[in-house]
Amino acid sequence: MCFNGAKSWQTGWYSDKTTVVNPGENCFEDDIYGISKYGDPSSEVVLVKINDQSATDFYIAFNFKDGINSQTVEAGNRVTVTSAAGEGSRTKYAVSTQLAKLFIGGQWSSIIGGKNMQVKVLSAHLGKGYARIRISENGEDCNTSSPTKRITSPPSPSPTKAPTVRRSAE
C-alpha cells in the first residue's frame, strides 16, 4: 500500500471525491469507495479527512484490492485509518502513521478536537468496491434527530356513552 489515506490526501489526486468531518459539527455515514472505483460515476467518496484543530489530522480510506490496487499486501479490503501532521498540506512532506485496519463491525476511536470520534465499518460490498462506514461522536447515528418540542393538538373528544339511534329510511 504505497499511498495510504494521508498520502492520497497530500497528493490531491482524489480531491473531487473527498469529504471532511469536523468533530462536534458533522458526521459521516455513507459509502466509501476504493481508489480503483474512482472513475465510476456512482463512487462519490474515496477519502475522508477527520479535521483536528491540532497539527495532526486523520484519514479514512477503503483499501479495496482491485485494479491498480489488486496487488496490495497490507490491509487489503479493509477500511484504513491513518494520521499525518501538517494539516494535509500538499506543499510539504509529513510522516503518516497507520492506526487501524478495519473490516465489518470493526471500530476505532480517538479523542479528536476534544470529542470522542469513532470510525465504524457497518458493511462491505466487495463486488461493488465499497464499504459503508460511520464517523461520528461516540459512535452515534448520524441520522438521529432531537425529539420535537412542538406542542401537538389535543386528542379528539372521547366517544359518547349514550347509544346512537339509527333511523331507517322508509
For residues 135-153, give the mean pLDDT: 69
Sequence letter at residue 51: N
Sequence letter at residue 135: I
pLDDT for 141 beyond 70? yes
Segment among 13-17, 57-61, 73-77, 164-168 with least mean pLDDT: 164-168
Residue in the block written with cell 393538538 = 153
Please report which confidence band the pLDDT of residue 86 belongs to, taking 50, 70 and 90 as the band edges: confident
Is 68 in a helix, a strand, or coil?
helix
- Per residue in 1-53, pLDDT (tens digit) is 457 898 888 888 899 999 999 998 999 999 999 999 999 998 999 999 999 88
Residue in the block written with cell 484490492 = 65
Phi and psi (nearest 5°) for 155? -65, 165
